[in-house]
Copies of this chain bind each other. A is one copy, B any other.
């Protein structure tokens, strides 16, 4: 169960410390890959296996399916959490998500999402103006 929003930093060596509260639900290994909205996603192994299996089952004939597989599998990196609780973010993924320095990690229950600080702030301001929309959707859940 991943919960909460955390601001921290990626150091000059491309290392990213996973906040302790998110780390607890993560094993020793995890998979980091791209998300369509220009951020990164970190899956624990069991969740990743489920996702990978679903992706593999898509029709190989469908071009969109293949493109999606390239996107997810091709952008993925298996990460080990080191003794300090950090993972290494490959340069290609740092580049994709425009991450350099300040980072925001968000627990999303089943997985972790990683944004560059700048992109996150931009997203926040967009959503905050629309909080009534969120409230309306919440109502629908009950």
Could you list which residues of chain A lie within 8 angstroms of chain B, going by C-beta atoms? 1-5, 21, 31, 33, 36-37, 51-52, 54-56, 64-65, 67-78, 90, 92, 106-110, 127, 130-135, 137-138, 141
- Report yes or no: A3 in contact with B141, Cβ–Cβ below 8 A: no
- Report yes or no: B106 in contact with A3, Cβ–Cβ below 8 A: no
Copies of chain A in the complex: 2
14 contacts across the A-B interface (CB closer than 8 A): A3-B76, A3-B77, A3-B78, A4-B90, A21-B78, A36-B135, A52-B109, A55-B141, A65-B137, A67-B127, A70-B106, A71-B127, A73-B108, A74-B106
Note all chain B residues with C-beta closer than 8 A to A134.
36, 67-68, 71
